[in-house]
Amino acid sequence: MFSLERLAFAALLCAATAAAAAEPPKLGQAASPSDIAAWDISIAPDGAGLPPGQGTSAQGEAVYVSKCLACHGEKGAGKPNDVLVGGAGSLAAGQTPVKTVGSFWPYATTLFDYIRRAMPYHEPKSLTADEVYAVSAYILALNGIIGAGDVIDAQSLPKVKMPNRDGFVPFPRVPR
């Protein structure tokens, strides 16, 4: 009888599982093309996907002070969050690495992509393209990568040579 009870329980469990699998979970809704387009904002290292707009370091400093300073400190020095400036030469063997925009990031377009997508922390995707170009210019200028008067836009940003551009080992992707 004990075996019969187990067999009945197993049959009931299989039937319940089959019924549950036949009906999809009713969670959320299908993403519309406009929903997807709002998040399909990736920027490639060559600049593909960069929007129109431009900014300078001076314009970026004003945006930085009002929207970034509280988390990243005076002139990108950090506290309470990540340091954005400095670290040059710290990626060498035997050194304690200081991974900043200026020492670690391989492409300037990655900086634009990250700021546009995730900053400010409490209000992601709220900056205009001009503000993102300007903040990118400010951080790049603080790191000595571009001049203080340089204009950053969709044509000039991909041409910025980051100090650690050649510090990564390419990972060949298998074509799909």
Range of the domain at 162: 43-166
**Is residue 23 assigned to a domain?**
no
**Is residue 105 assigned to a domain?**
yes
CATH number at residue 74: 1.10.760.10
Q: What is the pLDDT of residues 73-122, one digit of tens each?
A: 999 998 889 999 999 888 888 889 899 999 999 999 999 999 999 999 99
d(CA 165, CA 158): 12
Number of domains observed in the structure of the chain: 1
The helix (run of H) or strand (run of E) holding residue 37 is helix 33-39
Exposure b/e, 53-83, CB count within 10 A at least 16 = b: bbbbbebbbebbeebbeeebbebbebeeeeb
**Is residue 25 assigned to a domain?**
no
Q: What is the pLDDT of residues 3-51, one digit of tens each?
A: 777 777 777 776 666 666 667 777 888 889 998 888 888 999 999 999 9
**Is residue 142 assigned to a domain?**
yes
What confidence score (pLDDT) does residue 21 get? Answer: 62
**Is residue 126 assigned to a domain?**
yes
What confidence score (pLDDT) does residue 167 get? Answer: 86
What confidence score (pLDDT) does residue 156 get? Answer: 98
